[in-house]
Chain A
């Protein structure tokens, strides 16, 4: 009996995991003054992928360019990033002095007053005019600025030029609207395992479905917190994606996680939608791909769903000299962010995206073309969990296991309940 109780107890490890997490996990030295009057600032970012070295290059160049401020750049893996952030911030201890935060997370942290309202700093030390206005708005909560934009990453449209050419399409003229998109998709589907556009049923549907909803003139949640997952615009968007699989048959059914990506990389799917961060993978695959703004698949207007990277400062950073050191660094990134563009992203700094060097790149100008009409996630806290019922519904419908209207109504109901 004793033995079995011990094994039972091991099951309780779940509880221990949860409890242990609220303990002090990250104790960072909060030293502000280094030797010989150099301000040291700690900078956290989730760039554990191919983009890490690009940011590191900017930081190194900054550190070499002057000797008043020394930035200590630390990469926290993406999957653990916000948990690590939370633990450091909840400990009310000094973790990072400046850190990267996604646009859809800013509101949650701003409402808890744990990231700094930058209204006083802006104008004085940071110039709003240096950034794309949409990016700036994305970092605002209730009219106050909480983050300094680094980039905007909207959904992108990728296509296989070889397959376009083989189907008699112009490889330099990617589709721009629903009609052209369908034509291209039908032309590149051959009925022998090659498809026009493999429709994902999971990620990155989180970017694709909202894009079509916004293009239909709809929205996901109103500013008053009314969930609109079952609006006619949303239902139409889902019916359209569904029709690609089951009516036009330009996509196979039953695609599981990453299945659409595999098909695109194998040359078995002519078109693909994903974030600009995929560039490196497509480059390395050696395929002859093209990249363009997402075609207008909706019926009303051009729009594209996006997220963004922003620099935020924890409320715990109070020392004026330190804040000045941080803004010195941010202004340097603003002026010298070309290395970030080389990762495939489009920086939100005019100094970068308006430059000739930037506009000669392959993917990056296409990303920046979409800045004008990007749509960020709705103004709610915890967009991730609030949108979960929606993307479960999208998943079920695209697997032909639910009706669009019914599934979206249920999702709207569940999301509304979690907002209250």
Chain B
């Protein structure tokens, strides 16, 4: 039984986090919900209560809010679907690759792959904008020198999505890789040894030892990658400007415009709340699906 004093000490330790959590997450969240029920023009001193009007405008077909939200959601969902599998698979692949390197150069490559993650998105975007320039970019000059035609990297579908996904993977893959490297190092060496004695192939070892052992980390990476991809903003804002047309205009671009260009904080907050709700549902769904898969496997074993 813990003494009261030690309970209080523990409380003191979590207190700083709790204060930050309340100040920067709980309070803004509640304030955001409050704003979403008002007609909140940023430059008007009066903010009348409008109930669910901001939400209903998003669902009534034909309103500008409906158009912005649905188009943004559709495009964001596409980005999530294209980017998350790559972020997970390439992350794991790189982790295994780096892990199998000789110890002397392993650290160098780990740092090299992680480095882009530390750069700000505006630098990343300018870098790729220059490389992917249709007429004078490095990529197309390279293709031309091989006798191939130029590719309209940022102005045509599906290339615009491919470019955004490539830039995103290059930018953030280091984070997932580091997490996977740690997970891989935790897999008990004796399991592999036992499998080797049984004559298991490399593929079998990966499928039956590596994957099941790193499953919890895998779930973590899938969920965090999905959330990060849902929050995509800087890459399309700076690289394609939402184009061609509005086909890469993601949800956050629409919300930011609603909030700061149209100054409709109420409607922007409502959109943000819906976006958060969708992300919660997806993340919980992902968690439940992967957990039930785990149970089934245990029952089968």
Contacts and interface: CB of A to CB of B under 8 A. Distances in A.
Interface stretch (A9-17, A53-61, A128-136, A138-146): A9-17
Interface in B138-161: 150, 152-156
Contacts of A8: 223, 227, 279-280, 283-284
Interface in B97-125: none
A19 B155 contact: no
Contacts of A90: 42-45
Interface string A15-39: 1111111100000000000000000
Interface string A243-266: 000000000111111110011001
A16 B43 CA distance: 19
B62 interface: yes
Contacts of B283: 4, 7-8, 11
Contacts of B275: 14
B25 interface: yes
What secondary structure prevails in chain A residues at the interface with B? helix
What secondary structure prevails in chain B residues at the interface with A? helix
Interface residues of A, number: 61
A82 interface: yes
Given A256-B132, A399-B156, A15 B241 contact: no
A76 interface: no
A296 B245 CA distance: 27
B239 A263 contact: no
A263 B136 contact: yes
B276 A22 contact: no
Interface in B247-264: 252, 255, 257, 259-263
A190 interface: no
A228 B97 CA distance: 59
B32 A16 contact: yes
Interface string A193-215: 10000100111000000000000
Given A4-B283, A22-B265, A259-B135, A201 B245 contact: no
A284 B29 CA distance: 48
B255 A401 contact: no
B260 A202 contact: no
A382 interface: yes
Interface of B: 24-25, 27-29, 31-33, 35, 40-45, 62-64, 67, 129, 132-136, 150, 152-156, 219-220, 223-224, 227, 230-231, 238-246, 252, 255, 257, 259-263, 265, 268-269, 272-273, 275-276, 279-280, 283-284, 287
Given A18-B259, A22-B35, A402-B245, 5 more contacts: A4-B283, A11-B279, A11-B283, A12-B25, A86-B260
19 contacts: A8-B283, A11-B231, A14-B231, A14-B272, A15-B269, A18-B269, A19-B28, A19-B269, A86-B263, A89-B43, A90-B45, A255-B134, A255-B155, A256-B129, A259-B134, A392-B242, A395-B243, A399-B245, A414-B67
